[in-house]
Chain A
């Protein structure tokens, strides 16, 4: 929405369409980058604290003399950011230098583009495609190119292992993710995300909000299959095999350090944001308020969207600090022999449900 309004506004100033288009895109891109950076900052801090609390420890606390990490370790992320900026990012001698340098940007682009279609609130959305859901799924697989490029370019066996594993994982988990996001589209009849959310307004049986997750049992299961394959797509536990700490040291990120590694980190958290944004928009009623009647005007929409987003990201972190890691062939087994049959069955089920109940 912001890009269209900007374009219309610029066109009124003077009719040079190409320049106004470029200006509009650049101007609306900057807040997107800020959202990414802010999200990474907060998510890193929350991850440290959540993992600490789950392990009976308190995580970064600001103790000790001199430069330390703020009252409750709040400055810890600032310290991380400065460290990553200041630290020397080495390019290995035997690596394929050009590919090595390009990889972070391709992964960043994958995450950045996906963020453009996330509906933060009814008005706050960078671009309102009429094929929003399809766009996010398509853009989500740009990241694999970057990962494989990074793994191959760093010219070390561990990174190659990591890259091969993550390529297999992300590609194969695109299918259950895509199949289970079809269900909201089937029910709402539209690919446009704003209309999808609008469809989920009102209430069913009086008290329950009319979200797709509560609509029928099949879509309830579809939310979980989508969420599980979303976790797998962002390489988070229990599917964090590409950068398995105890086997591949850090997978395809082993040779990176300094700012390039920060870009990987940024785009991992941005991917988490995009994917859980899609889950919220598709199943949990986007910026609709959980209490059907009240609080759904103006800024409330943003609040509801961010709180649902926060909860899903918290659940992803909760997974990370509770589950062990799957092996690569088990990962494939879960995808092809468990998730895909279930999603197929769900689609069939929703089809029948819509036929009967209209």
Chain B
């Protein structure tokens, strides 16, 4: 561990801590409050997702993908299923594509809501967290109408979805969107423009664009550093080309480009974009049978595929190798939170302990996905 000098102190922001967003141990070398080095220790939540998926059949892997990123499991399913359909060249009916986009975007709003709410908690504001969770509950109810589960859905299957939308899902969803849009203004007045919140997050934990790309940071964290990269626009999958929405990037609103406030603000703007997509998707959704393209026996041809999709935390990549048998030969999940956490050490040098918590919160990591 190296000789610990006089006032150097090793502080364990340990596996059990109110704001590590999961089971993560940060071994922080500090002198006084200023942080000189952070060594994250992972693996507390390692459940051998990749080993499991070598012993279960292709469709049985889906419940495991749910449990990796349990805050956005719809998008995790979506990524796995899109990769599998590319491997097996299955063309999915139009209605299923629309349902998947609707579910993916709703799940993105839900995940961002929780990320922003918990970020307010890390900075010390209790009330926005409650408001955001109250609205997230309404999204979880919609998921429950459709597939029965609130958090871990196993809803998207290879070649389709398990259940069609309930009859009045469109009205329920549009009611939610109409109710939810003015709420964003309230969150902004309460938290986003709050001077103390701005003081605590502006110019804190700046990730320059090249460091972000070199650390493989993706998603809102990368866009906050000014790099305009979104898999939905740059490597379009499913029917995302049909919708017009734009990609919000960081603008250094209250401080330098790529600081904690930008990461927070990009997520808030992304919620507005997701609402735009949802409104278009709900208007144009065709009818049709969702079980039509479900293959009876899933036995993909020999070969491998690497497919990326845009999860709320960034590029969620699935590298699937199949050897012709109904059991996957190798499934590797490239987790966006894993790369986001890797840059924590370099970014939070020289900041104070309370800033480390702020930076960690702004990266919006989920330990289920990091440890797999």
Contact = CB atoms under 8 A, between A and B. Distances in A.
Direct contact of A and B (CB under 8 A): yes
Interface of A: 51, 54-57, 157, 161, 237-238, 240-241, 244-247, 249, 320-330
15 contacts: A51-B126, A55-B126, A55-B131, A241-B354, A244-B124, A245-B124, A246-B19, A246-B121, A246-B123, A246-B124, A323-B125, A325-B200, A327-B199, A328-B33, A330-B199
A247 B19 contact: yes
A136 B126 CA distance: 32
Given A56-B131, A237-B124, A322-B190, A249 B17 contact: yes
Interface residues of B, number: 29
B196 A246 contact: no
Contacts of A327: 199-200, 352, 354-355
Contacts of B123: 246, 324-325
A322 B19 contact: no
A55 B19 contact: no
| Secondary structure of the A contact surface, majority rule | loop
A333 to B, nearest CB: 9
A324 B127 contact: no
Nearest to B121: A246
A249 B18 contact: yes
B200 A247 contact: no
A240 B124 contact: yes
A57 B130 contact: yes
A325 B196 CA distance: 7
B11 interface: yes
B240 to A, nearest CB: 35
A247 B131 contact: no
A157 B11 contact: yes
A217 B127 CA distance: 34
Given A246-B357, A247-B357, A325 B124 contact: yes
The secondary-structure label for the interface of chain B is helix
Contacts of A324: 120, 123-125, 191, 194, 196-197, 200
Interface string B16-29: 01110000000000
Given A237-B124, A322-B125, A328 B130 contact: no
Interface string B97-128: 00000000000000000000000111111110
A247 B194 CA distance: 20
Given A246-B124, A324-B196, 10 more contacts: A55-B126, A55-B130, A56-B130, A56-B131, A157-B9, A161-B33, A246-B123, A323-B194, A326-B196, A328-B33
The 7 closest A-B CB pairs, nearest first, are: A325-B124, A55-B130, A324-B125, A324-B124, A324-B123, A246-B19, A246-B122
Contacts of B122: 246
A326 B124 CA distance: 8
B174 to A, nearest CB: 23
A143 to B, nearest CB: 22
A356 to B, nearest CB: 35
Interface in B278-312: none
Contacts of B120: 324
Interface in B214-252: none
A238 B130 contact: no
Nearest to B16: A249
B51 interface: no
B17 A323 contact: no
A238 B131 contact: no
A247 B353 contact: yes
Nearest to B32: A164
B127 A161 contact: no
B61 to A, nearest CB: 36
A91 B197 CA distance: 37
Contacts of A56: 130-131, 134
Nearest to A333: B199
Contacts of A241: 354
B129 to A, nearest CB: 8
Contact of A54 (B11, B127, B354): B127
A247 B354 contact: yes
Contacts of A157: 9, 11
A329 B353 CA distance: 12
B16 to A, nearest CB: 9
A184 B336 CA distance: 59
A326 B18 CA distance: 18
Nearest to A238: B196
Contacts of B200: 324-327, 330
Contacts of B354: 241, 244, 247, 325, 327-328
A239 to B, nearest CB: 10
A161 B352 CA distance: 12
Contact of A321 (B11, B18, B127, B194): B127
A322 B189 CA distance: 11
A320 B9 CA distance: 32
